[in-house]
Amino acid sequence: MNPLEKFKDWYNEETQKSTVRIPSACCLSSIGIDGFPNARMVSLKEVREEKFVVTGPMNSKKGKELLANPKASLIFWWTDTERQIRVQGEAFQIEDELADHYFKDRNKESQIVSAISNQGAEIDDITELMTLFKQRKAECTNTEIERPKDWSGFYIVPKRIEFMEFNKNRFHYRELFTRNNNKWYKVMLQP
CATH of the domain at 45: 2.30.110.10
Annotated binding site: 40-45, 61-62, 84, 174
Per-residue DSSP letters for 112-165?
A: HHHHH--TT---S-HHHHHHHHHHHHHHTTTSPPPPPTTEEEEEEEEEEEEEEE
Res 19: pLDDT: 86
Cβ proximity of 58 and 46 under 8 Å: no
Annotated binding site for FMN: 40-45, 61-62, 84, 174
Amino acid identity, position 73: S
Domain count, the chain: 1
pLDDT value at 25 more than 90 = yes
| Side-chain half-sphere CA neighbours of 38 within 13 A | 17
Q: Tell whether 142 is covered by a domain.
A: no
Q: Tell whether 111 is covered by a domain.
A: no
Domain around 76: 3-95+150-189
Q: Tell whether 130 is covered by a domain.
A: no
pLDDT in tens, 32-80: 999 999 999 999 999 999 999 999 999 999 999 999 999 999 999 998 8
Q: Tell whether 88 is covered by a domain.
A: yes
pLDDT value at 187 more than 90 = yes
Q: Tell whether 166 is covered by a domain.
A: yes
Q: Collapsing DSSP states into helix, strand and coil, what is residue 4?
A: helix
